Amino acid sequence: MHKSSIDKMRYFMEKYLQNKCAKKLYIVDLGSQNIGGSYKSIFNKPEWKYIGIDLEEGDNVDIVLENAYNWSEIESNSVDVLVSGQTFEHIEFFWITILEIQRILKQNGLCCLIAPSSGYEHRYPVDCWRFYPDGMKALAKFANLEVLEALTQWNDENYDDGSNVWHDTMLIAQKTAPLENESIEFSVSKLRCHEILTPKGQVKFYKKELFDCRSQLQEVLNKLNLLEVQHANMLETIEKSFFWKLRNQWFKIKNYFVSSK
């Protein structure tokens, strides 16, 4: 954890949380394992509960997530603040992660994400992405989070620990509305978003779509068969009616006079 990242997280705490020191806050740090430093000391307040989550055991890890994209260990709408630094570049499907962040945040909860915009490859165990402000804004928009700040340290600053290699980007966002209020073009009634947005989930989703199409087609065929039966019954009823018999007699009489001319 380089110094510039620590400073950016401290900036977030001082600007957005300093006036809440006397309030009980549940703060979750995603990717919290202490590798050359951590954010824990920044959030060391008597009334604040700081929990570190990661995918493996280690220093500053309180909860080991069983599934990187489905945090069943954390309840929905239970977290006041979610912070994460130097983690998102290592997450293969980060767009699923932001949905989990949105899920666990309380109404008006805050998140602060810090990730590099540049720098050399550093795999833990993979190194997939770099982020710019527009990318962070798009990510927040995807999860229906309100962007409070999105900025990148474009220029080198007075750091002597190699921080300037990364030119970190920081997103500060707030959950102001539940995701389910958004208009989603595809149905997620039977599949969670984290399933749909992975390759395996895509296969499941397409199978579900094919099954739905087959069901809809069968429903149309059933209606057509019903209409055919109803049509046959109507014809049978008409042919047995007095009107139909009178019609037949009329044509017989008409044909008689026409043929006799």
As a whole-number percent, the residues of the chain with pLDDT over 70 amount to 87
CA dihedral over 142, 147, 153, 159, signed as positive or negative: negative
Cis bond before residue 125 (omega within 30° of 0): yes
Residues 176 and 212 reside in one and the same domain: no
Residues 181 and 204 reside in one and the same domain: no
The domain boundary, picked from 156, 185, 214, lies at 185
Residues 112 and 228 reside in one and the same domain: no
- Tell me how far CA of residue 36 lies from CA of 21, 60, 111, 145, 195, in angstroms: 27, 12, 22, 30, 34
Query: Where does residue 10 rank: exposed (0-12), middle (13-18), buried (19+ CB within 10 A)?
Result: middle
29, 39 Cβ separation under 8 angstroms:
yes
The domain boundary, picked from 134, 156, 185, lies at 185
83, 29 Cβ separation under 8 angstroms:
yes
Q: With respect to residue 124, please indicate whether it lies within any of the assigned structural domains.
A: yes
Residue range 240-251, pLDDT digits in tens: 887 777 777 777
Domain that holds residue 223: 200-260
Q: How many domains does the chain have?
A: 2
Q: Which residues face 211 on adjacent strands?
A: none
Residue range 140-183, pLDDT digits in tens: 999 999 999 999 999 999 999 999 999 999 999 999 976 554 44
Residues 25 and 110 reside in one and the same domain: yes
Please report which confidence band the pLDDT of residue 186 belongs to, taking 50, 70 and 90 as the band edges.
very low
Q: With respect to residue 251, please indicate whether it lies within any of the assigned structural domains.
A: yes
Residues 152 and 89 reside in one and the same domain: yes
Residue range 67-83, pLDDT digits in tens: 999 999 999 999 999 99
Residues 56 and 80 reside in one and the same domain: yes
